[in-house]
Every structure is written in structure tokens, then in C-alpha cells.
Structure 1
């Protein structure tokens, strides 16, 4: 079993990562103006809840507590609305590309056993439980940008824009449309798809980089257009102000682990954001 310090947020092999906001900064206006951020109409909860994504969806904590993630907390709430089944397919370290093609770095840690890619497993699950899965929660994309971030120098690499474009393409051309299609029964959307944005655990270390976090989350919000409702966790985690007073309580950054994953308290804040956005 991997020790906590070697499993940072979203990408599990290096200590460089950031998480992102939904604010409208650093994105060309033409890009932002042509995209909405919400699913038109909420379907509501059903018997089955499916969680997909990376280490936050998985519920990773460096103290090896993997049972108090936001998906676990959200499911506890969903049970009061009639949910009876919960499948968490998330894989720590997942990128949009590995979600499509397979090869997640830490697939050994998966809570839900499946073969092939996470996307194909999710589609198979949705089809085999047609019309009975809602919501589907997703957080993905930050690992795509991981290698562009240097928290020692608080700078980004020259491949930033091209990696953003890859993330956008994977989400808008493959992941979101395929999930949406699998959630469509007889021409009608049969469940709610909720796409989470990200908090920024490094904003107190690299406050000048918050704008890049905001840019990524704005891309995620734009990519969600017509497919998913965006769940904003950046704001309840403290927003863009630095220093962020919530970082030490909501993440493990100030602990002996120096880890950017959420604490149980932080995951509870995320779950509440899902509940408030979904309205159930």
C-alpha cells in the first residue's frame, strides 16, 4: 500500500498539483460566451449513484482513510432520497486521456473492480442500469495539467495551452458526450451529471498562480455546456483570496503529510456543494 506523502492530489507520482476555480478569468470572451454551465433540468435522485473521476472522487487521504470522501458523504445523503446502491469507479491519478483509454497509474487502489478504461466501465454500468442511475458525479482534468506546474518556482510550462486544448477535447468530444448518451433513455435524459471544479491547496504557497487555477476551472465550466451541471467547490473552500484561511482545516497541507488532498472536513464541504447544487 502506498504511503500518504507519495500520493498527492489527482496525480499520484509527483508532489506538484493545483486545483482550480470557477471564476471567469483568463479565458477568451468568445470561448466563455458560447458555453453554458448547467444542465437544463434536474432529473433528481434514483436508486443508483455512480461516482467517476480521480483521487478526490475516490476519497483519498494520506492517513489512509478512504471512506470519508465527498462521494461517500453524498451517498449518505442520497440514501435519504431513496438511493440503495453506490458505485465508485474513481482512480487516483486519472487523467482525461487515461479515463478514455485506460492505464490509470494507481488502478490497484480502485474501490470498484472493472477491466478496461474507467469511461467504458461507467458506460457499461449506465447501460446495464438504464434509467435508474442519478446522479453521476465527475471530477477530472487537473491531472492533465500537472506536469505544467512548478510550485518551487510558481511558474507554468510552455505546453500549458496545448494541454488545456487536449483536456477540452477529451471532455467535449469523448467523455461528456458518451456519458450523456449512456444516460439517455428513449431520447430523454434519465439522470443528472454533475461536474466538480477544484479548490487550490497551493494558493498560499503560490498566490500568483491562482489565475491559472481559475483559467482551468473556467475551461471545465465551458466544457460542461449542454452536458453537465458544474458544482463549485472553489468558493466554499475559500475562493481566490490569499492567504486562504481554510487550507489548513480543509486539506492536509499544514499536517506532517504536507498533502494537498482534502481532509474529512474538506470532503464534507465538497459533498455539501453537490447537495446544494443538485437541490437534493
Structure 2
């Protein structure tokens, strides 16, 4: 029964949900965005983003994502509350305007867009939320990737510009403003880049992956601390020896999402970057 449900869910969500971590490359040091100092953990942890933030796995194990792993660590630093607003299928546009395709799967209930809900949560808990983690942007690029032929659409650059505009002009400024209390940043905003589940199948796409992660790093500058997930997943080494263990790509599901092991690796990247 469970396997049948998993196959059914995989069929209905594959066109959109299975891009929570499309492709992605290492970010050179010159593009890394960091804050001179981090605030540190507070009592509330807020997780935002797409299916990776949500913790999707095709075997219907939704309780061992990176946010759950990170929260387990944060509890040892005094965290007592955790809200996961991640929505499978979320794009930067739907995060702003609402309409996430698989909102029925939400772990934390809210009305309207994820961004508005996050801002409200921060405003209702002034000075008590840190960190806020975010992964977003991969789903925006889905229509540009043909994973059967490894071709990349000519609309890649314009879609990437939309990601930049949505992050740089709306999402990150609004989150940063909501995390500012009496003129001071009251919490840490951590934005991750993406690993590349297709680098063994489509190694020619790596330059595009590099470009996306470079853009995410540039978008984060001044607003968020960049968390490099690509490198601990194996970096640009092709074939990547970690793909089968850290993702579901080599399983019967042939799914790009992280396994429980992979999510632990992502959580560790957050912990190492934040220093707590």
C-alpha cells in the first residue's frame, strides 16, 4: 500500500515537485556572500523554501529533511519553536504571490503567499527568530531543462533574471526588513545554493549550474549568508560518487531529492556556515 501510494504521489508531483534541487554548482570564493557577524540562534527557527526545505522524499518520509535535522541541533542552543513553511513546487514568483502547486502538503498552515506568511511570523515574534533558512529558485528553471536530452532552453537567461529580480528586489529585502528590530538585525538569514543530481547524466549542464549558484550568491550579498551545499555533495567531480547515496537518483524512484543522509549533509552545511 505504501509503495503504491509513493508511486502515485511520484507520478502526480514529478513534473514540478522533483525540482526542489535542480542542478547546481560550486560557488567560487569571490561570489560568496557572508555577513561580518552572525547574531546566533534564538528561541524560534523558521524554514522557508521549496521541496528541499519541506523535506520531500519519494518514499513519503517527510520527517527527515534538513530543516528537521538543523532544528535538532538548534534545540541544544536554546531553540524551542520550529516552523517549516516550505512548499513543494514553490518558485520565487509563487513565494511572492501565492499559488504554490502543492500547498496541500504544507507542514505549517498559513493563508496566502509563503513570503507574506513568513513576514507576518517574523513580525509576530520580533527579535525571537533566528535563523531563517531559505532555498528557492530551482523550480523557476524547470521548464528550461530537458533531462532526457540534456538540452537547456534559450529562455534560461531570462528566467534566471526573474529569479534575481524576485530575490534581490522582493524576497530578501522583505525578510531582512522583518528581521530588523530597532534598526538592528535580530536574526540570521541563511540562503543555500543547490547540488546537481543530474551531473552524472548531463555533465554538460554544469556551466549553467555554476551560473545559477553564482547568481544566488550575488543575490544574497548584503541580505543573507550563503550556505554552500554543492561542495559537500561532491562538488564538480564527475561522475559524482555521492549522487547515489545522497539523492534518490539511483533508486527505482529516480528522484532528485535528497535521501535522509543527503538531508543530514545539507543540515551540516548550515551548521558549519552558521557556526552553531
Structure 1 residues 41-98: Cα deviation after superposition (integer angstroms, max 9, x where no partner): 1000000000000000000000000000000000000000000000000000000000
Q: Distance in 2 between matches of 1:99 and 1:42?
A: 25
| 1:27 alignment counterpart | none
| 2:70 alignment counterpart | 74
Distance change (3 Å), C-alpha of 1:6 and 1:19: farther
Q: 2:26 aligns with which of 19, 22, 28?
A: 22
Q: Distance in 2 between matches of 1:68 and 1:234?
A: 19
Distance change (3 Å), C-alpha of 1:22 and 1:16: closer
Matched, 1:206 2:205: no
CA contact (8 A) 1:16 1:150 kept: no
Alignment root-mean-square deviation, CA: 1.8
Q: Any unmatched runs of 5+ in structure 2?
A: none
Q: Distance in 2 between matches of 1:259 and 1:268?
A: 17
Between structures 1 and 2, the one with greater helix share: 2
Distance change (3 Å), C-alpha of 1:16 and 1:185: closer
| 1:185 alignment counterpart | 181
| 1:87 alignment counterpart | 83
CA contact (8 A) 2:21 2:52 kept: no
Alignment of 1:223-262 (within 5 A): 223-262=219-258
Residue 15 of structure 1 and its aligned partner are, at CA, apart by 7.4
Structure 1 residues 177-216: Cα deviation after superposition (integer angstroms, max 9, x where no partner): 0000000000000000000110000000001111111110
CA contact (8 A) 1:16 1:146 kept: no
Residue 7 of structure 1 and its aligned partner are, at CA, apart by 3.3
